[in-house]
Structure 1
Amino acid sequence: MDAIKLLTQDHQAVRALLGELAETTPRAVKKRAELLSQIATQLKAHTTIEEEIFYPAFKAAGEKSDDAKMYFEAMEEHRAAGDLVLPDLQGTAPDSEKFSGRAKVLKELVEHHADEEEKEMFKRAKKLMSAAELKALGEQMETRKAELLKQFKSEAKAAA
Structure 2
Amino acid sequence: MDAIALLKQDHKLVKDLLEQLAESTTRAVKKRGDLLRQIHANLKAHTTIEEEIFYPAFKAAGKKEEEKMYFEALEEHRAAEDLVLPDLMKTNPATEQFSGRAKVLKELIEHHIEEEEQEMFKDAKKLLSRAELNELGAQMEARKAQLLTKLKAAA
Q: TM-score, normalised by structure 1?
A: 0.96
Question: How far 1:98 moved relative to its partner?
Answer: 0.3
1: CA distance between counterparts of 2:106 and 2:153?
A: 27
2: CA distance between counterparts of 1:153 and 1:116?
A: 29
Unaligned runs of 5+ in 2: none
Task: Please say if 1:117 is aligned against 2:116.
Answer: yes
Structure 1 ranges of 4+ moved more than 3 A: none
1: CA distance between counterparts of 2:104 and 2:42?
A: 17
1:103-124 alpha-carbon deviations (Å, 9 max, x no partner): 0000000000001000000000
Q: CA RMSD in A?
A: 0.4
2: CA distance between counterparts of 1:35 and 1:106?
A: 13
1:51 aligns to what? 51
Unaligned runs of 5+ in 1: none
Q: TM-score, normalised by structure 2?
A: 0.99
1: CA distance between counterparts of 2:153 and 2:93?
A: 24
1:12 aligns to what? 12
1:61 aligns to what? 61
Which amino acid letter does the alignment assign opposite residue 45 of structure 1? A
1: CA distance between counterparts of 2:153 and 2:14?
A: 21
Which amino acid letter does the alignment assign opposite residue 119 of structure 2? E
1:74 aligns to what? 73
Question: How far 1:41 moved relative to its partner?
Answer: 0.4
Task: Summarize the alignment of residues 13-32 of structure 1 with structure 2, pairs less than 5 Å apart.
Answer: 13-32=13-32
Which amino acid letter does the alignment assign opposite residue 132 of structure 1? A
Secondary structure of the residue that 1:26 maps to in structure 2? coil
1:22-50 alpha-carbon deviations (Å, 9 max, x no partner): 00000000000000000000000000000
Question: How far 1:66 moved relative to its partner?
Answer: 1.0
1:116-152 alpha-carbon deviations (Å, 9 max, x no partner): 0000000000000000000000000000000000111
1: CA distance between counterparts of 2:32 and 2:153?
A: 22
Which amino acid letter does the alignment assign opposite residue 151 of structure 1? K
Count the aligned residue pairs: 155
Which amino acid letter does the alignment assign opposite residue 2 of structure 2? D
2: CA distance between counterparts of 1:70 and 1:94?
A: 34
Secondary structure of the residue that 1:31 maps to in structure 2? helix
Identity percentage of aligned residues: 70
Task: Summarize the alignment of residues 74-93 of structure 1 with structure 2, pairs less than 5 Å apart.
Answer: 74-93=73-92
1: CA distance between counterparts of 2:132 and 2:114?
A: 23
